[in-house]
Structure 1
Amino acid sequence: MRELPHGDTVTILRPGPSTSQDIYGNDVPGAVAEIPVPGCAVAPRDGTGSATNEIVGDRDTVISGLTLYAPFGTDIRATDRVRVGDDIYEVEGHVGSFRSPFSGSTGPVVVALELVTG
């Protein structure tokens, strides 16, 4: 899939390499790199735009998901976050892509995104 001519630009937020460790010996990620990806399609995951709603204690928690379709070859990792508009989503699960064994044509990189608020 080529860049969509009327697609949206999203930004991949990728943690930089570790430069230090915390007091427990865990690596602390470095500065976040921002990688713009133009020509993407973004759609609600369930096709209706609805989200799940859960009451936890005295707070309302809303979990919503999107499916991101990025141009073939886009490097998106499970450890990345993705900015869509003003919201920052977590990558959920593995990223998928497809190349036809018959024609060699390529499809988009498909990414499940999740946003938890509240």
Structure 2
Amino acid sequence: MPAPYPFGETVVRLRRGTSPGRDPRGQPIPGTLTETLVEGCVVTPRAETPSVGGDQQQARDTVIVGYTVYAPPRSDWRTTDQVRIRGDVCEITGEPGDWGQNAFTGMDGPVQFAADRVSG
């Protein structure tokens, strides 16, 4: 089956499995990381406009804070996943939103989510 957006790009979903237990200090041990290629995604820069007159608005109008991803219909994304986009590892911010079925065309819409770059 071809990707829903033929000129879209491939991103990598990073998902941790269930923790196998705790370390000697009682901290959870991270589960196994699974990487899944997701083809046919539309990726756009996500901008934030600083408030007028605020400290952040020093001779600039917008600041790029991450990406907005439009993933294929019914693709599986969780708030606990990470995503690798163009080499950047990003956290999923907020709940992924499923656009559902278009009432005019009957086609399934994308799953949309915000992704913020991981720093540090």
Tell me the TM-score normalized by structure 2.
0.75
Shift of 1:26: 3.9
User: Which stretch has the larger CA shift, 76-85 or 27-36?
Assistant: 27-36
Structure 2 residue identity aligned to 1:106: D
Q: CA RMSD in A?
A: 2.6
Structure 1 residue identity aligned to 2:94: G
Shift of 1:22: 2.6
Higher strand share: 1
The separation in 2 between residues aligned to 1:111 and 1:101, in whole angstroms, is: 18
Shift of 1:20: 1.6
Could you list the per-position Cα deviations for residues 20-74 of structure 1 after superposition, in whole angstroms to 9, with x for gaps in the alignment? 21335343221100011000000011289xxxxx8xxxxxxx9721100000111
Number of residue pairs matched by the alignment? 105
Partner of 1:18: 19
> For the structure 1 residues 73 and 5, does the alpha-carbon distance in structure 2 shift closer, same or farther, using more than 3 Å as the test?
same
1:70 aligns with 2:68: no
3-state DSSP of counterpart to 2:95: coil
* Aligned ranges 1:53-64 → 2 under 5 Å: 64=65
Partner of 2:108: 106
Contact 1:64/1:116 (CA < 8 Å) preserved in 2?
no
Runs of 4 or more above 3 Å deviation: 23-26, 100-104
Partner of 2:98: 97
The separation in 2 between residues aligned to 1:35 and 1:110, in whole angstroms, is: 17
> For the structure 1 residues 20 and 82, does the alpha-carbon distance in structure 2 shift closer, same or farther, using more than 3 Å as the test?
same
Structure 1 residue identity aligned to 2:115: L
Q: Could you say which structure has the larger radius of gyration?
A: 2
* Aligned ranges 1:34-53 → 2 under 5 Å: 34-46=35-47
The separation in 2 between residues aligned to 1:5 and 1:90, in whole angstroms, is: 25
User: Which stretch has the larger CA shift, 87-96 or 2-11?
Assistant: 2-11
Unaligned ranges ≥5, structure 1: 49-53, 55-61
The separation in 2 between residues aligned to 1:106 and 1:46, in whole angstroms, is: 27
Tell me the TM-score normalized by structure 1.
0.76
